């Protein structure tokens, strides 16, 4: 099995698109459409990497990220944030909260896969190296 990725995204079409791309690239993709239950999904699935949308019904992606970083099991879990809010301050906020990378919608598929691969390998876009992840 490839790297396990949890995809938290409320837009069904976007979820479908990313799932299709990553599956074909060999990832084990798990989709989740609700912010409120995202943390449960993480605990249940123990993904290697998480793709997290910011604007989610029930719970904001940033809140979820904060909780992930506060919990010892998930403190170093690689996270790629997606957002449709294109402003710099949104990105800065996400990175300061501990996201490993950040992509603004819309993105190219190749760029998304590349970034996610880097994140999963522990290369952090915010410059801080992450401990080695067993893959």
Partner 1 sequence: MLSFDGLVAVCVLYVAGLFWVAFLAEKRAAEGKARWLSSPLVYTLSLSIYTTAWTFYGAVGSAARSGLEFMTIYLGPTLVFIGWFWLLRKMVRIGRAQRITSIADMISSRYGKSGGLAAMVTILAVIGTTPYIALQLQSVTLSFSVFARPGALGAPDTESTAVWVAGGLALFTIVFGTRSLDVNERHPGLVSAIALESIVKLFALLAVGGFVVWGLADGPRDVLLRIEESPIATWTSNGARWVGLTVLSGAAILCLPRMFQVMVVENADERHLATASWAFPLYLLLMSVFVIPIAVVGLHMMPEGANPDLFMLTLPLAAGQDGLALFAFLGGFSAATSMVIIAALALSTMVSNHIIVPLWMRATKGENPMTGDMRRVALMARRLSIAGVLTLGLVYYRMSGGTEALASIGLIAFLGVAQVLPALLGGIFWRGATRAGAAAGIALGFLIWGWVLLVPNAATAGLMQGVLENGPFGLTWLRPATPLGLDGADPLLTAMVLSLGVNSFAFVLVSLFTFPSPMERLMGAQFVNVYEHSRTPLAWKGSAGTADDLLIMAQRILGAGRAARLFRDAAAAQGREARLPEPTPDFLEKLERELAGSVGAATANAMVGQITGGASVSVRDLLAVADETAQMMEYSSQLEAKSAELAQTAARLREANQKLTELSVQKDAFLSQISHELRTPMTSIRAFSEILMKSEDLDAEGRTRFSRIIHDESLRLTRLLDDLLDLAVLEDGRVTLNEGNTMLGDVLDRAVNATSALVGGTRLSILRTRADEEVPLWTDADRLAQVFINLISNAQKYCDAAQPELRIEVLRLPGRVEVEFADNGAGVAPRQQSLIFEKFARGDTAGEAPGAGLGLAISREIMGRLGGGLTYVPGQGGARFRVRLPGRALRAA
11 binding partner 1? (CB under 8 A):
yes
Let me know how long the chain is: 135
87 binding partner 1? (CB under 8 A):
yes
Q: For the chain, where are the E strands, in sequence order?
A: 4-8, 28-32, 49-53, 79-83, 101-104
57 binding partner 1? (CB under 8 A):
yes
88 binding partner 1? (CB under 8 A):
no
Q: Quick one: which segment of 68-76, 94-102, 106-114, 117-125 binds partner 1 (CB under 8 A)? A: 106-114
Burial class (CB in 10 A: 0-12, 13-18, 19+), 65: buried
| Residue 106, preceding peptide bond in cis (omega within 30° of 0) | yes
Kindly tell me which residue out of 26, 72, 86, 129 binds partner 1, with binding defined by CB under 8 A. 86
Chain residues that interact with partner 1, rule: CB under 8 A: 10-11, 13-14, 16-18, 20-21, 24, 33-34, 55, 57-58, 84-87, 90, 104-110
């Amino acid at each position: 099995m490839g790297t396990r990725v949890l995809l938290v995204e409320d837009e069904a079409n976007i979820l479908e698109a990313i799932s299709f791309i990553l599956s074909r690239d060999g990832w084990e993709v798990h989709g989740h459409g609700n912010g409120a239950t995202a943390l449960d999904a993480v605990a249940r699935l123990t993904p290697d990497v998480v793709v997290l949308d910011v604007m989610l019904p029930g719970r904001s992606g940033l809140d979820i990220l904060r909780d992930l970083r506060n919990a010892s099991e998930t403190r170093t879990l690689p996270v790629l944030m997606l957002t449709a809010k294109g402003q710099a301050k949104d990105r800065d906020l996400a990175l300061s909260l501990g996201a490993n990378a950040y992509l603004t919608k819309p993105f190219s598929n190749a760029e998304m896969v590349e970034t996610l691969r880097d994140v999963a390998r522990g290369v952090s876009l915010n410059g801080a190296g992450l401990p080695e992840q067993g893959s």
